[in-house]
Amino acid sequence: MSEVTVTLPDGSTLEMDEGASVEDVAFEIGPGLGRDTVAGVVDGELVDKHAPIEADVDVEIVTESADEYLDVLRHSAAHVFAQALERLYPEAKLTIGPWTDDGFYYDIAGVDLDEDDLEAIEAEAHDIIEADLDIERDMVPREDAFDRYEDNRFKREILDDEAAGEDPVQFYQQGEFYDLCQGPHVESTGEIGGFSLLEISGAYWRGEEDNEMLTRVYGTAFPSEDDLEEYLEQRRKAQERDHRKIGQEMDLFSIDETTGPGLPLYHPNGKTILNELSDYVAGLNRQNDYREVETPHVFRTELWKKSGHYENYVDDMFLLDVNDEEYGLKPMNCPGHATIFDQGQWSYRDLPVRYFEDGKVYRKEQRGELSGLSRVWSFTIDDGHLFVRPDQIEDEVEAIIDIILDILDTFQLDYTVQFATRPDKSVGSDEIWERAESQLESVLEGADMEYVVEDGDGAFYGPKIDFAFEDALGRDWDGPTVQLDFNMPERFDLTYVGEDNEEHRPVMIHRALYGSYERFFMVLTEHYNGKFPTWLAPEQVRILPISDDHIPYAEEIKRELEDYRVTIEERSWTVKKKIRQAHEDLVPYMLILGDDEESEGTISVRDRKEREANDVDPTAFRAHLDDEVGAQRTEPDFLDD
């Protein structure tokens, strides 16, 4: 019998018989580890502990203390849900039920469920957990597997596709319940300490819109009830801050099925915020010698083939047939910027060349994956592309990171940083990759930044630095990125004339300061819980005349503040109701005007923190607004003293 080499996380190796299991590897390391083994990670993939090892691989052993244990537990929780469902609804047809970052889901057909049904299913699931049923792996002859699913075409399709050629086929069984599954799973249902069903939605079979619509039930699970309660409280807070809820309440944006899924409509309030964000970042670009360009929304697909996006993104592109030619809505802005650079003639003295564009792009995500502004079909990238000499990489990346840090400081967002290195499949020489990675790492070290190295997670065209925003609830969201690209200049045959009068290939740097406006808008909406800083707020000041008699004075004050977004509350309400409504609308400042204010030529200022000052000189308030908005401070601070 031939042997295979197993490389462990510490770099040590073991020689094992070909076909040995992950569990065998664990016992080879030590009997205690073997007994504690729940699953394994083989070449980065989470697998059953019984999975055979057929070639030289990297192996990690998963025990209850490993990060991956939660994924295994939640996979088992999905089976608990399915078992409870079948007990209450024998007619249900199970399809697939994977774990997710937050829990699990199971897609089902043949039964009509709504949110009210989840309570009874969850109660049955708790009975199954309490019974502490053993979860056992069972290898079933292929023919018998088809017989088991004689009336379930979804499982038979899985047998034909994902499990094609397998004989026997792997199942897992607990009590009377069995499910076709690759695993891994915990030893028994009793290991699930906290279990909850969360919500119901629709999902197309295999995510394809032409397929049948299924019912998707989401749930979550944890090793303990305390862990579950902590998660549910965090989820409740997240729902309160949900940008979709706040967006509707503040009239910021909408997504209407009649106009198309994943296509946001920005209302005047939302567009006001977008304009402020765009003006802010455009100012930063111009201060750093970027030149603004604009590219069309659609190109002939010849461009996408030239850039390499067609072969990588064609399934996610919106394609059009125009006069027997194929066009595609752009999924990226970079090919257009590369084309602009290519149409010039450049000397080494001209570099770096820096372009920026708020470029609208389109990606055809599966409808089941669309979610508010976090995942859409149409979004805008605050894109920048730089064309630099290899010796300029470090200085340019350092300058980009300085801009990103300014932005993070302005919005007071916490963040984490990942440095992604060369993947197995890549373009470019060893020398240029080593130099580029060294330069990126040197920038991070020089900035004294904490970062995590993600080995092999770079783009095929170059290494990158990614920033993730951490919002007020501690959730991470993809944000700014800096990426080196050796591929696009090669594909477009981009050149500049060097000091030696020979042609040389520039390096292209991709960078986004927000990431995308949609994702950043979502992050800010939830981070601030709708209480946008005064400089961003759609309505910065609301004037509240105590009676209609004070409206003329209110109009005079509004003219004094004409550079700001000011409204007058003219409805015939009591001043108390006007104040309450302004607070509910999250307006940063309210100006209350009555007889005393008008006679003295003053204003009473109230902020959304319910602080108030009387006898304020309107000129002094205007001067403060100039200062607060100009400095882009995150909270109304006129009444801080």
pLDDT of residue 446: 87
In the prediction, which pLDDT does 455 show? 86
pLDDT at 486: 85
Distance of CA 206 to the CA centre of its chain: 22
129 by Cβ neighbours in 10 Å (0-12 / 13-18 / 19+) ranks as buried
Question: Could you tell me the CATH number of the domain that includes residue 618?
Answer: 3.40.50.800
For 84, 303, 530, 564, 580, the CA distances from 569, given in Å and listed in that order, are 55, 53, 20, 16, 12
pLDDT digits (tens, 9 = 90+) for 267-300: 999 999 999 999 999 999 999 999 999 999 999 9
Q: Looking at the domain assignment, is residue 306 inside a domain?
A: no
DSSP letter (8 states) at residue 505: P
Residue 223: alpha-carbon gap to chain centroid = 26
Average pLDDT over residues 445-464: 86
Alpha-carbon separation of residue 636 from 151, 281, 408, 533, 624 (angstroms)? 63, 22, 19, 7, 10
Statement to judge: residues 132 and 162 lie in one domain:
yes
**Res. 475 pLDDT band, cuts 50 70 90:** confident
195 and 282 assigned to the same domain = no
Instruction: Tell me the three state secondary structure of residue 51.
Output: coil
- The angle subtended at Cα 572 by Cα 622 and Cα 556, nearest 5°, is 25
Residue 168 CA, distance from chain mean position: 39
Residue 17 tokens read as: 């018989």
Within this chain, do residues 119 and 224 fall inside the same structural domain, yes or no?
yes
- pLDDT recorded at residue 396: 95
> Domain check: are 425 and 285 in the same one?
yes
Domain boundary among 503, 527, 551: 527
pLDDT digits 0-9 by tens, 109-154 = 999 999 999 999 999 999 999 999 999 999 999 999 999 999 999 9
Q: ∠ at Cα 375 (373, 380), nearest 5°?
A: 70
Q: What 8-state DSSP symbol labels residue 167?
A: S
Query: Residues marked as binding?
Result: 334, 385, 510
| H/E segment holding residue 406 | helix 393-411
Triad 140, 143, 144: Cα angle to 5°: 50
Q: Is residue 91 part of a domain?
A: yes
Degrees, nearest 5: CA angle 407-410-416:
55
Mean pLDDT computed over 421-442: 83
Which domain does 26 fall in, by range? 3-62
pLDDT higher than 80, residue 460: no
C-alpha separations of 354 from 287, 365, 374, 399, 461 in Å: 12, 30, 28, 12, 19
Q: Which residues are annotated as a binding site for Zn(2+)?
A: 334, 385, 510
pLDDT at 639: 83
- Please report the pLDDT score of residue 368 as a whole number: 63
* HEC letters along 222-267: ECCHHHHHHHHHHHHHHHHCCHHHHHHHCCCEECCCCCCCCCCEEC
Q: How many domains does one find in the chain? A: 4
pTM passes above 0.85:
no
Average pLDDT of span 207-211: 81
- pLDDT, residue 157, reads 94
Contact 228, 194 (CB under 8 A): yes
pLDDT for 341 beyond 90 = yes
The rounded distance, in Å, linking the Cα atoms of 282 and 358 is: 9
Is 517 found in the same domain as 568?
no
pLDDT at 641: 62
Cα separation, 468 vs 481, in Å, equals 9
Contact yes or no for 223/193 (Cβ under 8 A): yes
Same domain membership, residue 354 and residue 286: yes
Distance in angstroms (rounded) separating the CA atoms of residues 375 and 366: 10
Report the share of the chain in percent with pLDDT over 70.
Answer: 99
Question: How many Cα atoms are found within 13 Å in the side-chain-facing hemisphere of 633?
Answer: 13
Looking at the fold, whether 498 and 574 belong to one and the same domain comes out as no
Residue 616 in 3-state DSSP?
A: strand
Residue 307 lies in a domain: no
Backbone angles phi, psi at 277, to 5 degrees: -65, -40
Given a cut of 90, is residue 538 above it in pLDDT?
Answer: yes
Q: How far from 272 is each of 256, 269, 276, 279, 363, CA to CA, in Å? A: 20, 5, 6, 11, 25
Instruction: Determine, yes or no, domain membership for 254.
Output: no
Q: Is residue 472 scored above 80 in pLDDT?
A: no
Angle at 278 between CA 622 and CA 538, to 5 degrees: 45
Asked if residue 136 lies in contact with residue 173, where contact means CB atoms within 8 angstroms, the answer is yes
Provide CB contacts within 8 A for 35, sequence distance 6+: none
Domain assignment present for 302: no
Query: In terms of domains, do 36 and 147 share one?
Result: no
Same domain, 375 and 419: yes
Q: Could you tell me the pLDDT band of residue 261, with boundaries at 50, 70 and 90?
A: confident
Q: Please state which of the ranges 136-145, 450-459, 621-630 shows the lowest mean pLDDT.
A: 450-459
The mean of the pLDDT values for the chain is 92
Evaluate whether 64 touches 71 at the Cβ level (below 8 Å): no
Give the pLDDT of residue 126: 97
Q: What amino acid is encoded at 56 in this protein?
A: D
**Residues making up the chain, counted from first to last:** 641
Give per-residue pLDDT as tens, 573-622: 999 999 999 999 999 999 999 999 999 999 999 999 999 999 999 999 99
Structure confidence at residue 206 (pLDDT): 86
List pLDDT tens digits, range 542-579. Answer: 999 999 999 999 999 999 999 999 999 999 899 999 99
pLDDT in the model for residue 303: 92
Q: What torsion, rounded to 10 degrees, do the Cα atoms 21, 22, 25, 27 define? A: -90
Please report whether residue 312 resides in a domain.
no
More confident residue, 416 or 428: 416
Give the integer Cα–Cα distance in Å for 469 and 445: 20
Domain contains 388: yes
Using pLDDT thresholds of 50, 70 and 90, give the confidence band for residue 447. confident
Spatial CB neighbours of 304, under 8 Å, sequence gap ≥ 6: 310, 313, 314, 317, 328, 331, 335
Grouping H, G, I as helix, E, B as strand and the rest as coil, residue 180 is strand
Q: Are residues 170 and 281 in the same domain?
A: no
Query: Is 257 part of any domain?
Result: no
Burial of 532 (0-12, 13-18, 19+ CB in 10 A): buried
Helix, strand, coil fractions of the chain, as percent rounded to 5: 35, 30, 35
CATH number for the domain that contains residue 279 = 3.30.930.10
The pLDDT of 161-189, averaged and rounded, is 92
CATH number of the domain residue 119 falls in: 3.30.980.10
45-62 pLDDT per residue, tens: 899 999 899 999 999 999
Per-residue pLDDT at 478 exceeds 90: no
**Per-residue pLDDT for 32 more than 70?**
yes
User: Does residue 460 sit in the same domain as residue 582?
Assistant: no
Is-contact 638 622, C-beta < 8 A? no
Q: What are phi and psi of 545, to 5 degrees?
A: -70, 135
Question: What CATH number is given to the structural domain containing 49?
Answer: 3.10.20.30
Query: pLDDT band at 1, cuts 50/70/90?
Result: low
Count the alpha carbons within 13 Å of 21 in the hemisphere toward its beta carbon: 12
Strands 378-388 and 325-329: unpaired
Asked if residue 460 and residue 354 are part of one domain, the reply reads: yes
Among 467, 495, 527, the domain-final residue is 527
Higher per-residue confidence, 304 vs 586 = 586
314 close to 303: Cβ distance less than 8 angstroms: no
- What confidence score (pLDDT) does residue 33 get? 93
